[in-house]
């Protein structure tokens, strides 16, 4: 299937912008990103669980294909499974107080997430209008994601929900004298 020149220009432009942002962030913020020893252990554990969760997902997807249901056997399906595994990693980190670094300010970080999520949602809306309800659909027996931006915003919303639940639980369970 041929793609238009605009598609490749857009892809290349996005790649360059992403690289610039990542390099800038690495140079400017890398020295400030710091977790304590408990957080490092929790993040390592979360990474391990997320990784094995993804491996299990891929195995299940493979077996489903063997038994005649190739639901996840395309790039969209694999991306969806990877996002789910990423979400597992993030939720474990959030619930172990290992998501934010020691220098992160929670309100600022949540606001950043909201902005990024909203930005992705707007881009997804632009890409997907008027079929926003069906951005994940099944076409010819396979998953089809019509906008990765909407998937990103969904993951961010779920992360924020997990963070909210953790904050509510944390404020109840912590030592009252410290609140």
Binding site for other proteins (CB under 8 A): 36-39, 97, 102, 170, 174-175, 178
Distance CA 68, CA 58 (A): 15
- Whichever of 97 and 164 has its CB closer to other proteins, that residue is 97
Using CA atoms, how far apart are residues 112 and 33, in angstroms rounded to an integer? 16
Our CB check for other proteins shows the closer of 37 and 140 to be 37
Q: Which is nearer to other proteins, 140 or 178 (CB)?
A: 178
Q: Based on CB atoms, which residue is closest to other proteins, 140 or 175?
A: 175
- Distance of closest approach, residue 175 Cβ to other proteins, in angstroms: 6
What's the closest the beta carbon of residue 104 comes to other proteins, in angstroms?
10
- The rounded distance, in Å, linking the Cα atoms of 128 and 96 is 36
Q: Tell the smallest beta-carbon distance from residue 102 to other proteins (Å).
A: 6
Contact 130, 159 (CB under 8 A): no
**Residues 137 and 66 sit within 8 Å (Cβ to Cβ):** no
Q: How far is the CB of 144 from other proteins (least distance, A)?
A: 41
Tell me the Ramachandran region of residue 104: left when phi exceeds 0, alpha when psi lies from -120 to 50, beta otherwise: beta
Q: Find the angle CA(81)-CA(85)-CA(89) to the nearest 5 degrees.
A: 165
Q: Which is nearer to other proteins, 68 or 176 (CB)?
A: 176
Min CB(89)–other proteins separation in Å = 18
């Amino acid at each position: 299937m041929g793609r238009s020149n605009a598609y490749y220009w857009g892809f290349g432009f996005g790649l360059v912008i992403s690289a610039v942002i990542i390099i800038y962030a690495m140079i400017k913020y890398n020295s400030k990103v710091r977790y304590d020893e408990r957080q490092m252990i929790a993040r390592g554990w979360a990474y391990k669980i997320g990784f094995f969760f993804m491996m299990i997902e891929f195995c299940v997807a493979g077996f489903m294909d063997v038994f005649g249901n190739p639901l996840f056997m395309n790039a969209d399906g694999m991306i969806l499974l990877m996002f789910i595994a990423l979400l597992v990693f993030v939720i474990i980190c959030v619930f172990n107080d290992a998501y934010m670094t020691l220098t992160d300010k929670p309100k600022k970080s949540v606001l950043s997430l909201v902005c990024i999520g909203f930005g992705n949602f707007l881009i997804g809306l632009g890409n997907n209008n008027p079929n926003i309800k069906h951005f994940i659909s099944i076409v010819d027996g396979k998953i089809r994601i019509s906008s990765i931006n909407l998937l990103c915003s969904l993951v961010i919303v779920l992360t924020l929900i997990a963070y909210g639940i953790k904050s509510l639980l944390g404020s109840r369970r912590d030592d009252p004298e410290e609140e």
